[in-house]
Structure 1
Amino acid sequence: MSKCKYCGVEILDDAVKCPLCSGVLDGKKEEGHTYPDVVSGVRKTTVLYRIFSFAFIVIASVCIALNVWLTPTLRWGEIVTCSLAYLLWLGYIILKDNAGYRIRILSGVAGAVLLIILIDTFLGFSGWSVSYVLPAAIILLDLALAILMLINRRNWQSYLILQVAMVLVGIVPLVLIRIGIVTQPLVSDIAFLVTVFMFLGSMILGGRTARIEMKRRFHI
């Protein structure tokens, strides 16, 4: 399809002159809009992820088999399997199109903490994972939320629900202290205080906007 540069009429056939103004056509055809091939990209990503999944199954099976046959008292095969599973999960979250950056950050940190707790368990569970790593991760997420709220100042109140979730997560180390799993309570206490103070600070500084957001979220 050609288009006359003088009057703008679209020519459907191979005419040399414009049938309206008799202007000479330059012979260039107007090309339609082109769009990225999203479907092809998704298919390639899916195939690549399936290849990695298959490789994970093979490597994990070999490691566990070697672990059982060669060093049954040392659970390194399970550590390798859990580490590869975390990397596979992290890749899935990163490649997932509809996963926002908040979901990616929370999923990545939560998966890393779970991996470290499992490693501690496989090594005999001395408690360092829940005494230090878990509360440190809570503090790290609190700081990440504060930075995101500063960056996204126009919609900072949308992070209040995550702060509420962090307060609930901060209670977990306190429960572990109560039942005797956490033997070094200092970092856990600090993590809980940080989550509470950050939430209270957001509510006080946010004023009416924060109250409206909480009412909208919890219908109170």
Structure 2
Amino acid sequence: MRYCEKCRVTVRDSREDCPLCQGPLSGEPEPCVFPRLPDDHPPYHLLIRGMVFLSIAAVVICFAINAIVPSSSWWALFVAAGIACMWVCLWSVIRQRNNIPKNILWLVFWLSLLAVLWDVFTGWHRWSLNYVVPSLCVFAMAGMAVIARVLHLRVEDFFIYLIIDGLFGVIPILFLLFRWVTVVYPSVVCVACSLLSLAAILSFEGERMRAEWKKRMHL
């Protein structure tokens, strides 16, 4: 039986550290008293490995074709950049899979950043600010509205959605104020969607949110 000198408790398990203080345990390990549950999760690691192999193979094949076939540009670099963008987004989704609002926020951030960088390295035609970033914000707000409806979110969760919707509305306003865009209607549509989303949340959930706010602020 394992023993922790600091906590003065015995641990009937084969673990090496104390579950209370995380310190080292002394004594001989014992078989685990709780049965091991079978792992019912599908083998996603095999899928990830397959995707890694296919990604590397696609990049290698594209560079080989680009080197063999005469071409005026290295288009294989764009293929590699696109695959890298896919992996960045996939990593963000897996990392924040248990928090849907944060997942959506990080996806919008990464996709917007990648689009701007892509635009910069291809000559800065402003298509990232004109179309991509406002469109991502609109789709994110629509996705959050559907998720909130389907998952029947709690009242306190609406505060998070309220902040995110407001943030998505501020971004295109900055584009318009500083004249960073040459095509204004996507940014205007995004601002309008943000205002409508905020109005809908305050109209249909305003009373519950106000009550929750008073309860949290002890008013």
- Which TM bucket (shorter chain)? 0.5 to 0.7
Runs of 4 or more above 4 Å deviation: 44-64, 73-78, 213-220
1:97-132 C-alpha deviation (Å, 9 max, x unpaired): 863333333333432333222222222121122112
The Cα of 1:192 is off from its aligned counterpart by: 0.9
Range that drifts further, 94-103 or 174-183: 94-103
Counterpart of 1:130, as a letter, is L
Larger Rg: 1
User: Is the Cα contact below 8 Å between 2:135 and 2:190 reproduced in 1?
Assistant: yes
Contact 2:131–2:186 (CA<8 Å) still a contact in 1? yes
Percentage of identical aligned residues: 22
Q: How does 1:47-126 map to 2 (within 5 A)?
A: 74=73, 76=75, 79-96=78-95, 99-126=98-125
- Residue 36 of structure 1 aligns with an amino acid whose one-letter code is P
Q: 1:165 offset after TM fit, Å?
A: 2.2
Number of residue pairs aligned between Structure 1 and Structure 2: 186
1:146 matched to 2:138? The reply is no
Going from structure 1 to structure 2, the CA distance change for 1:212 and 1:124 (only over 3 Å counts) comes to farther
2:37 is matched with 35
* Residue 134 (structure 1) aligned with residue 136 (structure 2): no
1:187 to 1:96, Cα distance in 2 relative to 1, 3 A: closer
Amino acid of the structure 1 residue aligned with 2:115: I
CA shift at 1:140, angstroms?
Answer: 1.0
Distance 2:192 2:124 in 1: 26
2:5 matched to which residue of 1?
none
Counterpart CA distance in 1 for 2:216 and 2:57 is 45
| Deviation, structure 1 residue 212 | 3.8
TM-score, normalising length: structure 1? 0.61
Alpha-carbon distance in 2 for matches of 1:219, 1:84 = 50
In the alignment, the residues of structure 2 paired with residue 215 and residue 62 of structure 1 have an alpha-carbon distance, to the nearest angstrom, of 61
- Separation in 1, partners of 2:171, 2:81: 23
Q: Kindly tell me: are residues 95 and 141 of structure 1, through their superposed partners in 2, closer, same or farther at Cα, counting changes over 3 Å?
A: closer
Moved more, 206-215 or 131-140: 206-215
Deviations 1:132-190 (A, max 9, x none): 22111111111111111211235255033233223123222221222222011122112
TM-score with structure 2 setting the length: 0.61
2:130/2:187 contact within 8 Å kept: yes
Aligned to 1:25: none
Separation (CA, whole Å) in 1 of partners of 2:78 and 2:211: 46
Contact conserved, 2:101 with 2:161, CA < 8 A, in 1?
A: no
Q: Is the 8 A contact 1:117 1:129 kept in 2?
A: yes
SS in structure 2 of the partner of residue 207 of structure 1:
helix
Q: Does the residue aligned with 2:179 lie in a helix, a strand or coil? A: coil
Q: CA RMSD in A?
A: 4.2
